[in-house]
Structure 1
């Protein structure tokens, strides 16, 4: 895969402690971007930053909780203090919980909304001015949102998760009307079944069994395969916007 125009860029990746976020951060750093790693688990971020530096890249570990306004603001300040303005943001933090409507688990619903939607909005707001300024200076500026195929398909017991991802997809489309005319690219990525820690968020044995059965029949993408598409998208010439990428295992309908 050909990656261009990444050397010297400054990226923020949320959800960088595992899964797609971690894979995106590693690949961006490998191709010359300075990467600020945001997630809640400081020890995982420190280990990843050390790995990236050992491979010759630049990485900054910033423990942050996207569901907390003050935490995001503090993280943004730390990133700018260390690296200056940001020109690439990847919103990968997310949580998937099996929450049947009949069970009425409002705490689970709220956790998904706070992380998948409100958290994405907090991070986007924290760095929008940086992206707009970078584009105004003639540099490439990107906002990448990791949504899901669940934004379009229906899965029993995951109605709220699917609704949050539909919100991310629609938000990405709407943000394009605001930021696209200012030369900020918006890319919405919708993966199908992907190896990640999302499965570990589910505690109900029956729901785990259902998910495992689907994955066994269909297979999964790796986080690295999804990261490959993200990094390809942000490495295109600045006038080219891959606005929406849907990527599925071949057997997933």
Structure 2
């Protein structure tokens, strides 16, 4: 894809320790953005920082848990101290714990809600004012939320996960009415089957086998494919907002 250079941009990427988040961080840094990497696994973040720096980029590792208010607040303080005002936020952190609704796994439901929905809101609360301030100074400002095709297409045993992603998709749509008039762009990206660590969250042998079968039959996006989309939408001219993108493997209906 064709990009405008992202030099001068300051980005925060959650869930940056692996998968789509890691790929997004690498792509944005390669395009010149300074990137703050947020995730729980500090060792993985430090390794990614070294990789970005080796490529001539600038990155900061910030160990943070999006399910914890104090952790997100501390991460915000660390990022602002190191980099100043943030103008690009990618909400990517998420968990996928499929099981039949009849199993009644309320702890899993709560974990998905707290990470996939409230975690997104915590990050928006932490950095939303930064985005508005950056836009007010005439800079380009972006909020990118990573949702899922599961927000629209029901899969058996994925009801709660799909519901959390539907919430992210609706939240993104609604936030445009608040952020758009302040010149902050909001983009919602819904990947289909994508190679990431989400597959490893599945603890049911039967469901894991079904998922593997889908990947084998349909094929999957690489995390870098989704990162490519993120880099593209955030590098458009300031007045252009690609608000909703569904990105699927060609064989996925």
- Confirm or deny a common fold (TM above 0.5): yes
Q: Pairwise mapping of residues 1-253 of structure 1 onto structure 2 (< 5 A)?
A: 1-253=1-253
Contact 1:19 1:223 in 2 (8 A): yes
CA distance in 1 between partners of 2:248 and 2:17 (Å) = 23
Contact residue 5 and residue 237 of structure 1 kept, 8 A: no
In 1: Cα distance, 2:211 partner to 2:65 partner: 27
* 3-state SS in 1 of match to 2:171: helix
Q: Shift in Å at residue 215 of structure 1?
A: 1.3
Secondary structure of 2:227 counterpart: helix
Q: CA RMSD in A?
A: 0.6
CA deviation after TM superposition for structure 1 residue 196, in Å = 0.2
TM-score by length of 1: 0.99
SS of the equivalent of 1:224 reads helix
Distance 1:37 1:133 in 2: 21
CA contact (8 A) 1:147 1:191 kept: yes
- What SS is found at the alignment partner of 1:210? helix
Shift of 1:5: 4.2
Distance 1:136 1:19 in 2: 33
Q: Which runs of 4+ in 1 moved over 4 A?
A: none
Residue 99 (structure 1) shift: 2.3
Secondary structure of 2:93's aligned partner: coil
Q: Tell me, yes or no, if the aligned pair for 1:194 and 1:220 is still in contact at 8 Å.
A: yes
Tell me the matched-pair count.
253
Q: Provide the C-alpha distance between the structure 1 equivalents of 2:100 and 2:64, rounded to a whole number of angstroms.
A: 29
Bigger drift between 173-182 and 2-11 goes to 2-11
Aligned equivalents of 2:79 and 2:187: distance in 1? 22
Q: Secondary structure at the match of 2:187?
A: strand
TM-score (norm 2): 0.99
Structure 1 residue 219 displacement after superposition = 0.7
Alpha-carbon distance in structure 1 between the residues aligned to 2:3 and 2:40: 29
